[in-house]
Structure 1
Amino acid sequence: MTNRTFTALDRLMEQLDQALHTVFGPAPNPGRASPAAGKADAELSAAERELAGRLMRINHTGEICAQALYQGQAATARLPEVRGKMEQAAQEENDHLAWTEERIRELGGHTSYLNPLWYTGSFAIGALAGIIGDKWSLGFVAETERQVVRHLEGHLQRLPVEDNKSRAILEQMHDDEGRHATVAIESGGAELPEPIRQAMRCSSKIMTHTAYWI
């Protein structure tokens, strides 16, 4: 059997398949057990369950965006080692995607109806970052993950105190995202200019506000 050389069309179809599975398919099988496994589900009031469900929906949408960003960057990264880091990061984010979706269902909520829109936009941004250059692509990853860490810290403060299952998930995500940021910088990522960081924060606010309600 000879090794097949993949064409640009092959790679495009692979990216389309990944997109459909990420947005419309069932949650991927996580490589790690959920941090919520084995923890008792607290008796939450209806209002507390709704709040926790909405917060977890925001985090699930964030993971949809992360998948798209990493997949877009992997599609256009110039150096094989950078492409490999993007693909590995996307695989690790699968755990977060599965954990948050499971917890949303347990809380009686639903994932965001706008996930296809957010995936498309995030993939385009990731692909553009990869085209601009690998050091900027890695810098974009680092800044994205830093903002996610701050975002998770805010959610940990807002969660109902008794919701140990959701809290365990977000705490593990917080640790993972911080590590992703560190790896991106250590791999040669450049610090992004302040106007770009501000634009990213603005985009994040729009996503979080809409995902909270829709």
Structure 2
Amino acid sequence: MALRALTKVDNMLLSLDQALRAVVPHSNPSTRPLPVRDTSLPELTITESRHVAGLMRINHTGEVCAQGLYHGQAFTAKDEQVKAAMHHSALEEVDHLVWCETRLEELGSHPSVFTPLWYGLSFGLGAVAGAVSNEFSLGFVAETEAQVSEHLQDHIKQLPPQDLRTRDILAQMDVEELHHREMALDNGGHALPKPIKHGMRWMANRMKDVAYHL
């Protein structure tokens, strides 16, 4: 029996479902377990626990933004192959979202209260990038993933020495973010102009400042 083509209403409902899964904690099933070597929770002081929670809240926010960017780019992509690639990358990064949520819960903390706002802003940016051109859209992905990798590596350096659990999670995320960057470049992504790169970095740093605390 042949499957019918999706209508505009179907696509709208799918987009709404994707958005809700990105912003509502524990609404996504993880396809992989936490990438950790030790299942025991590290012993942290109150100060250390709060700092790690702040870092993981930033990383969770980054993954929410990644979902928004990919969904926005897929929404306006001019090429079906690029659109499919954006959806595929978003699905691959769902595990990152779940891993961050899980670690935040272990630390007795929570995602950013501004999660819906982060998603909405990122969806808008992604939609604009996708509307410009395929090459610009893929270049935007490559630059985003490069900057995410920088943040992850910085956070790894800030972790308490005994918190190998968070370290393992962030290290695996970093490997996969860089893989997505290479895929975007291999599929035709162009390097972005420096002013756009600087603007992206400035916005990311403001988001980090807020998400660490809220």
Same fold (TM over 0.5): yes
Shift of 1:28: 1.4
Deviations 1:139-198 (A, max 9, x none): 000000000000111101111111011000000001000110011000000110000001
Amino acid at match of 1:105: E
Aligned to 1:166: 166
Deviations 1:68-113 (A, max 9, x none): 1111111111212111111111011101000010000001111100
Deviations 1:100-129 (A, max 9, x none): 100000011111000000000000111111
Aligned to 1:87: 87
Structure 2 CA distance, aligned partners of 1:178 and 1:2?
A: 38
Are the equivalent residues in 1 in contact too, given 2:26–2:101 (CA < 8 A)?
Answer: no
In the superposition, the TM-score normalised over structure 2's length comes to: 0.96
RMSD, aligned α-carbons: 1.2
Partner secondary structure for residue 192 of structure 2: coil
Aligned to 1:48: 48
Equivalenced residue count is 214
Structure 2 CA distance, aligned partners of 1:21 and 1:173?
A: 19
For structure 1, list consecutive stretches of 5 or more residues without a partner in the other structure: none
Aligned to 1:156: 156
For structure 2, list consecutive stretches of 5 or more residues without a partner in the other structure: none
Partner secondary structure for residue 99 of structure 1: helix
Shift of 1:13: 2.3
Partner secondary structure for residue 3 of structure 1: coil
Aligned to 2:204: 204
Structure 2 CA distance, aligned partners of 1:15 and 1:180?
A: 22
Aligned to 1:67: 67
Q: Percent identity?
A: 45
